[in-house]
Structures are given as structure tokens and as C-alpha cells.
Structure 1
Amino acid sequence: MIKRRHVLGLLAGSLIPVRSFAAYRDSEYLKTLNAAESLAPISERLPKSPRVIKLSQSGKLPGRHGGTIRMLIGGQRDIRYMPINSYARLVGYNEHLQLEPDILESFEISEDRIFTFRLRDGHRWSDGSEFTAEDFQYVWDDMFHNKKLFKGGVPASLKVNDKPPRFEVLDRLTVRYSWDDPNPDFLADIASPSPLRLMHPAAYLKQFHVKYQDKSKLASLIKEQGVEDWVALHQKMSRTVRPENPDLPTLDAWRPRTPPPAGRFVFERNPYYHRVDENGLQLPYVDRVLMDVSSSDLIAAKTGTGESDLQVTNLDFADYTFLKNAEQRYPLTVDLWKRIQGTRVALMPNLNCKDEVWRKLWWDVRVRRALSLAINRREINKAAFFGLARESSNTILPESPLFRAEYREAWSAYDPALANRLLDEAGLDRRGSGGERLLPDGRSARIIIETAGENTVESDVLELIRDHWYEVGIKIFVRVSQRELLRRRVKGGETIMTVAQGLDNGVPTADMSPKELAPTSDDQMQWPLWGLYHQSANNDGRAPDMPEAVALYKLFSDWRAAGDFASRERIWHAMLNLYTDQVFTIGTVNATLQPVVHSSRLRNVPKDGLYGFAPMSYLGVYMPDTFWYDDHA
């Protein structure tokens, strides 16, 4: 293993001590809060070494404070997009998908297994309390090691070869996590859209913990919040995935001010936020974000009538023409970003289904390849995406340094003659009176494809595939189920095939985890039980027993143990080759386009961007805290 040592903290967004600026500048908006909160001067609210975002170096414009961004959401749960888009992380990705310190002042890696984190002196939570190593200690001692809060102990994602790390507090601003073996996933986990939370505001949360709170006071809080016990109380008050507790201190750019239920959720600037621009203005530039609840079906129409200043969610390519025409009537700008999923619509044969006949067929690679070859992707591209997408298997995009054309082209040509021959060879050579193929047990080869029915793109593509597969003797029927019910049916082996989006991350580097290519999660609809086995640390689900799936898992384990970039890159290619050649999931088209609509006065929103959940965090890597209103536009 090659020993490597990184000390990061002097990258884009570098460290500039307070004295480098003549004076930091506050937003005028905070003056309205001063009377209520008695805010200290800005120089006392910022860390001694804030993160400085040098916008002009990246082709952006330094801006000005002020204004409100209106956004539309399809339900109260969708306030979850706020911490994703705000994207304040201990370590985060930049636009070039390189990791750099953000909340951290710096970090140091030794041998890919020892991670030392240095915090910014003077950094504070949004309520003004200090952010120190104590906030990490609280999570480690009082959450991870409390059997009621974490029944399984330290989260599985923190374990390497079933062993948790050693956690050390070196001083009030320095913590260390170390393993016996390499853990190349660690930084990616804490940089993700839904990060592994290593720290929480201890000073605030201790009032809800049985270890620190008086029993009578705790009982009163339990009753006040309408929960069953202190565990449910702590979980409710500490939830960060959906920012529903306005009192929970945050390190994000905007802090929530509205408890649910509500029709409008207000987020206002964090007076203690740790980033400034190159001119000394504390970020974010925009003072408030309003998230208005609307019907999902109406969001595109409302956006096109000027009711949103920044909208991505609940828009799709089918809305583009209408939105583009709206530019003539309202001060809007409509851009098209490239979606990074491995495929826009993927068909997922359930290799763990209970139906023994179908399970045996799905295990036969000839069947999976045949169904892929029977799809006319060019027709799908033209009919659903105006020919602007790329016909492809479910794999990575050319924007990834790992891309090879052979992965995109694997079994993705339209070849019904070869598809028919492969199905015959796989034992589906008998036909019924209507031309349908017959299963080995005499049933018609009819596939029920199950979907959550949450967008029209899937249904449009399935209508085309219905005709394609009928030509090779396979009939399909579509069943729509509520998402949670569908997930239960998949895990229970009750589905034969489902439809979903493909790989989340279609733009990986060799240093990003290839876990999507191996059975590692029960969210993977092609092998949910095998994925659950890994996810539960071998306590649930079932160990993979299909040789090719076992091989992928072995390669994934090898990647985690690899000690250098070249080895990781080699393993990535081995996994991509096996994954696409075996057609575990059937892709259609990728590189589809996503409308991004914003006020024509809003600056620093990229014209061209990559859009996706991981690793982009939707808008997150493009730093919405640097978006600003130009009054002269």
C-alpha cells in the first residue's frame, strides 16, 4: 500500500485571516434582527479564518447583499431540498468534483485510514454557541454509543471490515478518526447530499437527552412535543434531513424559521455563517429563501407565470417549451443542464423475486441481454427527448474521466433478430396462439412492470417499450403503486420488474465509491436482498449467490482496500465492464436535459451545469449562497 498524506485547506475557498480585510461587511437585513438577538459585530461572529470564496477566479461575479428567493415545493416534506442545496459540509465537492475543506479549516489523511480534522477557531452555530470538538464527542459518546438512539451502535457506513473507527479528541478544535484498514469512502460519505452526521449542536441537544436532563423536565418536553419517550423526542429535535425544528442550530447558509405544518416555509440568513466573498461580504448574498407549498402538477405552470425565482424540482424536459416561451412575458431565464443519471429510465429485473420461473430466467444473462437488444432507443430518444439525449446502457457519462464508449454501447443496439435468437436459446422458444412466448411452466411470458408513477417520462417510455418487446413475443403490463408500498413489494420479492432512474452518479472519478455497481443497498431494485445483506452488516437480507454479483461485490471490497489511485481506477473499469456486459439493469437513454429556471436578475447561476443528486447535491456544488440579485439588470 502506498502511503499518502494530504493536508488540505489552502485550495479554492482558501484561508484568509480576519486581519486581511479592512472590514467585513454585514447584510442590512441583520440590523432588523439585532434588537431581538443582540448580535455581536460581524468580526466577532465569523471564524478567525473564514472560508473565502474567490468568485472572480472561477468566472463568477462578486455580488451584493439583499433580496428573497422564492421557490415552489410539491409538499411539506420537500423542505428537505434546503440542506441539500445549501451544501455546507465538513468537506465538500467543488464544481470540478474535487474535495476541499468547507466547514473544516483543513484535514489531513494518512494511509487512507487516519483522518484528522481541524475546525475553524471562532466558528459558531446559528444560535451563537461555539462549534468545537465537543459537538463531535457528543455524537460519538451519547448518540452512536447509546443503544436506544442507535440500536446497532456505530453506523455501518463508519465500519471497515465490521470494525468501527477509533475516535479521538486531540484538542478543542481537532478530532481524529482512524481505522486499521483504508476507508476511501469516508470523505465521500460526509460530502454527500445526505451526509453522515458526525457532529450535532451538543449545547442544544443535551436538554433532550436522558443523560443530561432532569427527569421531570424531560417528561414535560416529551408531553409538549407529543412523542412517546425521550428517544423519539431527541430524534425529532435533532432531525437535519428535513429542517422542521427552527430552534435546532445549524451551520447552513440559511436557518429555518417555520415549524410545520405550513403553506410557506421561511429560511433566513445565518448570522454566523462561515463563508465570505473576496471583498469581505459575509455570505449568503440573499437574505431569505421562501419555499411555498403547491400541487406538484401545478409547479411548472406557476413557474412559467413568474411565481418562482429559482426552480428545478418538479420540472422536466417536457416543460421546456412552455417555460422558454414564458421568458417573453416574465423576467425569467430558462437554461438546460445535463442530468447525470446513468439512464433516465431503467428497467430493473428483480433477481431476488419469489417467482422461481422468472427468477431462473433473470439469472440467465441471455434473457437480460435480449430484452435490452429489443429496445429501440433511437425511437425513445426522438419521441420523448427530441433526439437531444444519448442512447446508452445504464452507465457513466462522457463527463466522467472513467468513461469508455464500450460501456455505453454494451448490448444497447437495436437488434430484434439477435434478441429473438437469445430468447429462443434461453428456453423461451415456444409460442402461444397469439404469438406470445411461453414460460417453461406454460404461462404466457407477460411481465408486470411496477412503478411509483411519479412522472410522465416513465409512462411515455414504457408505452414505446411495450411495442418493442411485443415484437419479440413479450407482453408487458404496468402497475402503479405508492412509493413506500412499491419498495416493500420489491424487498419482499413480489415484483418481477420495476422501472426507475439509473445510476445516481454518472460522473464518477476513481476516488468515488463504485458501490452503485455492486449489491450494497436495499434501494437497488435489481437485487434488494443482496444489497440489504451488505447494508445490515450481514444481519438481514441474503448473501449474494449469483457468481457475477459475487464478483462485483469482491471488486467493490478490493476498491475499498486499494491503496493508490491506479488500483482504484483499474477496479472501477473492471466493475463497469462486468456491470454493463451482464445487463443487470436495462438502460434506455442518458444525458437528458433538465430545465433550470431563475429570475433574470439572479446572478452566478451557471448557464450550463450538471444536475443530479450525488455528487452534485442538485444546486449544491454551484454554491447558491453566492447567487445574488443585480438591481441594474
Structure 2
Amino acid sequence: MVTRRTFLGGLVGAAIAPAVVRAQQAAEPEFLKEQLTSGSLPPMAERIPVRPRIVNLKEMGLEPGAYGGTVRTIIGGQRDIRFMTIYGYARLVGYNKHLQFQPDILAGFQSEDDTVFTFTLREGHKWSDGQPFTADDFRYWWEDVILNDKLTPGGGALELRPHGSLPRFEMLDPLTVRYTWEKPNPMFLPTLAGPQPLVIFGPGHYLKQFHKKFQPDQAKMDELMKTYRVKKWQDLHIKMARSYRPENPNLPTLDPWRNTTPLPSEQFVFERNPFFHRVDETGRQLPYLDRFILNVSSSSIIAAKAGAGEADLQATGIDFNDYTFLKEAEKRFPVKVNLWKLARGSRITLLPNLNCADEVWRGLFRDVRLRRALSLAIDRHEVNMVAFYGLGTPSADTVLPDSPLFKQEYADAFVKFDPDEANRLLDELGLTKRDDDGIRLLPDGRRAEITVETAGESNLDTDVLELVHDHWANIGLALYTRTSQRDVFRNRAMSGSIMMSIWYGLDNGVPTADMSPAGLAPTLDDQLQWPLWGMHYLSAGQEGVAPDLPEAAELVDLLSQWGSTAKFEERQVIWHKMLSLYTQQVFSIGLINSTLQPILRAAKLQNLPEKALYGFDPTSYLGVYMPDAFWYKEA
């Protein structure tokens, strides 16, 4: 029996009502007045799709707003302009605030047993440069990017070939495309809805000038490669087509704001996309806000700058230990600070590197008794009280109670403070000899010294490590801390130089069974507990090494089973098997979750929830709360 799920977007069945059109014509943003007057920009009724996505803000408990205004935010480096792609959250298929799938860019879509996916586009939808957005943009990306071995030498993203083969692509008509796999691909929709969405379309009308197949003038291609400092045409196309990190101001976009600033810069200006596909229930085109200005700063002083009145909206670069300082800023500046719940599996997580280069430590880290001992020796109550004022929840690195997959046994796995049991486990491992300072000795005679490395982006990590230092000293282990920049930190992890790191826990702490459990298995090279195993999966076996720990290999196998079934009940069973195995094996040592994340906003900025879930995946930080509907209410 074929299970069909059909989802339709706002006003799919009828063109937009005449009353709404009149409202649109009377409600053009002042920001666009000059272009409208000169005729370089058509009126709103000609800019938006025939059937735009109508967002009923009142039904969502929000207030329809007014046009205008600039939002300042601070980023820790030029690469962080990607936050605008995450915040803008324009997706073919996205999550609503209840984390259910809904069409967004698409007018509608149909899934048949998660094997056949049919996507319907919105008639009259346009890119930010005013050119039509049609099925041709999917065909270009499929035929001339994904199937081009120069542009996609690895054969395409794993999400497109979960069982080894790419799907069959069909362009049914100018507004309809279809992807068909022989087996279910339940990862497809969650990946399209994610914070870093799978790319399956692009503005072919713009990108063809950088493609060898479509650029007949070799002298022109050579000139372009020289201008953009690349040696191969494929590198030129990749550079100019990058949408997640929108560094090319000329690249047409479907996002609510578009970058206008080329690299390098200390300030990036994103301006409203006059062809954006959403409108509110009164007929006003979103976004309400005209501009976002992203000021580049050192990560270490973002909180200080935000608290000094230099940001109108700040969520990244600040942490819970900045809350008191930021709250004080309310007395000096017209800002408000709310606290949202962090949606990760753990705010603080210790990650023993099971791929570390040190042979002795690698063998110890792969023994579950050591991982359990390290976890049992930590007094999480003390960590919670000192670092989070008791507002967090001591827990393993696992899903939160907000997830339908939550079980208390996962949260409780080896988190009880029990130094006696920790000592017993270490003795059982054979680490019975100690030096004069009470530090245990390794089998090769070295002191049991664990260096925990941090990217240095949060004082909170350092504060917590000071507490853990004392906890582990009580069981005969010496802890040292090393700080490095994020890029160096990642590279050292991949090389095996890092023994253990401190980072966040599972990206998605609020999953449903329809979301991928890939975070529980070695699938990415930036999973710090097993980067080489993750690289092996990510590269389809071309790089890294295959997991040689049975429990890690079992997680990969369970993930494969999840990806082969179209039945929700079976996915649910697999999720629970993986959660149980992951927490029992303590592959990551979670400390505290359900912690609170400060969100600073200008006092006049409307439609931000006072309380919400905050995380990278699946909420895309602010994304699912629709920043295009934020607006300034004048005093």
C-alpha cells in the first residue's frame, strides 16, 4: 500500500484576492520608493508569485507589522554571514514552530512512501534579480552541476544517494519536478528543511556564465577566473554559486534579504529582497525590515559590544554567563533580554576522541568503562549551580523532554555523582598504580593526564572545566586545558592531536522520528568524538577509516535501517535503539541540558517570542520564528 502525504501552501487553490492586491499597491515599502518611481522595479503585484505564501500572523499569535528599519547584529568573522541564510529560513520545505513540515518556497509537495517526491512551484515566483524561478533551475542544478563530475566529483550529497545511487529526476512541466528513489529516502525532507539545506536548485540564468558548457567565450572565462582568483572553471562556478555562505553579492537569492557587500569587509549590509514570496494577511509583502547590518568583531567581545548598545538583535556570540551583564544593559539602552531554552542534547559536553593518535589513550577511550567512570566522577549538581544558577538539568547528552522520543533512562545514563563507582571502574581497567600526587599511571608508566581542548569561544567552558578538574583529581586523573581558534581546533581533532574536547552536545535535542538520527552515529568529520569514522561515512569510504568499535558500527547500521523504511513506527523503534545504545556507551559525556540562552533585542522590535527553543537544528536559531515578520514599533 502506497502512503501519500500531500502538503499545500497558503492560497494554492486560488490567485491572490483583489482586495489584497489593492492593499499591496497601497503598502509599498518606502525603502523601494525610488526604484518604483524610476520604473526600475515593478509594483508589488508583479513582483510576488500569483499565489504567494500567505502568513497569517494573528493565527500565530503575532501582530501584523509596518515596513522599515535596520537591525544591527555582530558576527565573529566574515564566514558568519551564513547566519543570514539560517535566520532568513527560506526553504523549499520548512518546519513551523511546532516542528512539522510545511511548504514554503514550494506551493506544495507530495511524498509517496518517502520514495517519490513531487514538488510544485509557485507561478510567477522570481529570483531577487527579477528573473523567473522555475523548474528549469532544478534541471540546471541536476544536469549541469550534480551530474557534472568536475563540479560534483564525489557523485552528489549523501542525502541524495543514501543507498548508493542518485534518484531519477524529472521535470514534469515548468512548475513541477519529481525525484524518485528505488528505496525510501526519509532523510530528503529533513535535509531540505535544515539550517544548512541540501542544494538542489540554483539560478541557472546567472550561473551559466561561469559554466564551461554554457560559456562559449574562452577569453571571457579566463578573464572571470583571473578576476575571482581561481585556476579552474569549476572552482569559479563553485565560488560564485555558494548560497549557504552568501559571499557573492551578485548571486540571485530567494531569501528575504540579500547581501550587497563583497569580501573582504568588516561590515556586511543585507537589504530586502523585493521579490520575496511571502505576504502577511493584510497583503503586505514580507520582510518588514529593510536591512540587516552585520558588524564583524572578535568572538570574545561580542557580548561586551551587545551590552554596550551596539546590537539590535543578538543571539549568537553570547552565552548564559553573559545574562546578568546583558540584563543590566536594559537600564542603559532601549533593549530587552529574553531567555530561550537551548534545544541541544547538552550545553556542555566532553568528547573523548576515539580516533586520537596516542595509542594508549585511544585504547582507553574505546573502553566503555573509562567513559562511564569519567561521567560518574562529575558532580553535575555543582556544575549546574555554579555555571547555570541551578536553572539547567543534569543529564546525559540526549533528547530533551520537549521531544516525543524522550525517555528518562536516556537522560539518567551514568550521570549520578558516584566517585566510588568511578574509582572501581578505573581499578578494573588496570589503572591501579599512582604517583606521589595520587595521579594514576598509564600502562606505559606515564601520568594519566587528559588535555581537554576548547575553541575558546565561551568563558563558560573554561569555568566548567575548572570544576571538572577537581572532580577528576578525586579519582586520580589530571585535567589540563588548551585553547585554540576554531579552525585550528577542528584541524587538530581530525589529525588525532586532540585527546578530548569540550563542545555542545547533539545538535538536535528535540527530534521526532521523522528527523534523521545521523547525529547519534559517526557520520560527519566535525563530530569530535570520532572525526575519522565520520569522515569515512561522509566520503562514502574514500577517506578516514571505518569504525572498528562494534557499538559505533552498530549505530551506523541502525542509521541505515532508519533510512530504508517508510514506516513511522519502525523509525521510532530505531531511534530508541540508537538513543539507548548511544547513552549507555557514553560516546559523549553530557553534563547539563535545558539551559537558557539569552536573546537580546531592541525594545521596539516586535514579534520575537519571549520563550522559545533555540538551537542550530531543527530551529535554525531564530529561523523558524520568522525574522521576516519582525518589525519596529515606534514609541
Same fold (TM over 0.5): yes
The amino acid of 2:264's aligned partner reads P
Aligned-pair distance for 1:269?
1.0
- Ranges in structure 2 where 5+ consecutive residues have no aligned partner: none
SS at match of 1:104: coil
1:161 matches 2:170: no
Aligned-pair distance for 1:173?
0.7
Residue 185 of structure 1 aligns with which residue? 187
Query: Mean Cα displacement is larger for which, 75-84 or 333-342?
Result: 75-84
Residue 93 of structure 1 aligns with which residue? 95
Give, in whole Å, the separation in 2 of the partners of 1:238 and 1:15: 34
- Contact 1:15–1:50 (Cα < 8 Å) also in 2: no
SS at match of 1:348: strand
Instruction: Describe how 1:73-222 pairs up with structure 2 within 5 A.
Output: 73-213=75-215, 214-222=217-225
Give, in whole Å, the separation in 2 of the partners of 1:297 and 1:154: 37
Give, in whole Å, the separation in 2 of the partners of 1:433 and 1:312: 47
Residue 69 of structure 1 aligns with which residue? 71
The amino acid of 1:478's aligned partner reads T
Scaled by the length of structure 1, what TM-score is found?
Answer: 0.97
Distance 1:15 1:443, change over 3 A: farther
> Residue 440 of structure 1: which of 440, 443, 446 is its match?
443
1:534 matches 2:537: yes
Instruction: Count matched residues.
Output: 630
Instruction: Describe how 1:489-504 pairs up with structure 2 within 5 A.
Output: 489-504=492-507
> Residue 261 of structure 1: which of 241, 260, 264 is its match?
264
SS at match of 1:360: helix
Query: Mean Cα displacement is larger for which, 296-305 or 115-124?
Result: 296-305
Aligned-pair distance for 1:10?
4.5
Give, in whole Å, the separation in 2 of the partners of 1:79 and 1:495: 28
The amino acid of 1:17's aligned partner reads A
Scaled by the length of structure 2, what TM-score is found?
Answer: 0.97
- Contact 1:18–1:49 (Cα < 8 Å) also in 2: yes
The amino acid of 1:66's aligned partner reads G
- Contact 2:606–2:633 (Cα < 8 Å) also in 1: yes
Cα RMSD (Å) of the superposition? Answer: 1.5
Give, in whole Å, the separation in 2 of the partners of 1:37 and 1:625: 25
SS at match of 1:469: helix
Distance 1:430 1:3, change over 3 A: farther
Residue 18 of structure 1 aligns with which residue? 16
Deviations 1:521-574 (A, max 9, x none): 111111122211111112222222211112211211111112211111111111
Aligned-pair distance for 1:507?
0.6
Give, in whole Å, the separation in 1 of the partners of 2:570 and 2:393: 30
Aligned-pair distance for 1:37?
6.4
Residue 394 of structure 1 aligns with which residue? 397
Residue 588 of structure 2 aligns with which residue? 585
Residue 5 of structure 2 aligns with which residue? 6
Give, in whole Å, the separation in 2 of the partners of 1:373 and 1:522: 28
Give, in whole Å, the separation in 1 of the partners of 2:334 and 2:284: 27
Give, in whole Å, the separation in 2 of the partners of 1:301 and 1:309: 14
- Ranges in structure 1 where 5+ consecutive residues have no aligned partner: none
Distance 1:70 1:168, change over 3 A: same
Instruction: Describe how 1:279-298 pairs up with structure 2 within 5 A.
Output: 279-298=282-301
Distance 1:15 1:497, change over 3 A: farther
The amino acid of 2:516's aligned partner reads S
Aligned-pair distance for 1:16?
5.6
Give, in whole Å, the separation in 2 of the partners of 1:229 and 1:542: 30
> Residue 457 of structure 2: which of 431, 454, 459 is its match?
454
- Contact 2:9–2:53 (Cα < 8 Å) also in 1: no
- Contact 1:16–1:50 (Cα < 8 Å) also in 2: no
SS at match of 2:107: strand
Query: Mean Cα displacement is larger for which, 54-63 or 430-439?
Result: 430-439
Give, in whole Å, the separation in 2 of the partners of 1:300 and 1:492: 32
Instruction: Describe how 1:404-483 pairs up with structure 2 within 5 A.
Output: 404-483=407-486
1:308 matches 2:324: no
Residue 384 of structure 1 aligns with which residue? 387
- Contact 2:170–2:179 (Cα < 8 Å) also in 1: yes
Give, in whole Å, the separation in 1 of the partners of 2:207 and 2:37: 26
Give, in whole Å, the separation in 2 of the partners of 1:338 and 1:476: 30
Deviations 1:115-166 (A, max 9, x none): 0100000000000000011111111111112222111122222102111111
Give, in whole Å, the separation in 2 of the partners of 1:111 and 1:82: 34
The amino acid of 1:338's aligned partner reads K
- Contact 2:2–2:112 (Cα < 8 Å) also in 1: yes
SS at match of 2:179: strand
Aligned-pair distance for 1:199?
0.7
- Contact 2:208–2:214 (Cα < 8 Å) also in 1: yes
- Contact 2:300–2:458 (Cα < 8 Å) also in 1: no
SS at match of 1:606: coil
Aligned-pair distance for 1:22?
4.6
Residue 243 of structure 1 aligns with which residue? 246
Deviations 1:341-368 (A, max 9, x none): 1111211111122322222212221111
The amino acid of 1:247's aligned partner reads N
Distance 1:169 1:334, change over 3 A: same
The amino acid of 1:612's aligned partner reads G
Query: Mean Cα displacement is larger for which, 475-484 or 114-123?
Result: 475-484
Moved over 4 A (4+): 13-16
- Contact 1:170–1:176 (Cα < 8 Å) also in 2: yes
The amino acid of 1:18's aligned partner reads I
- Contact 1:16–1:52 (Cα < 8 Å) also in 2: no
1:224 matches 2:227: yes
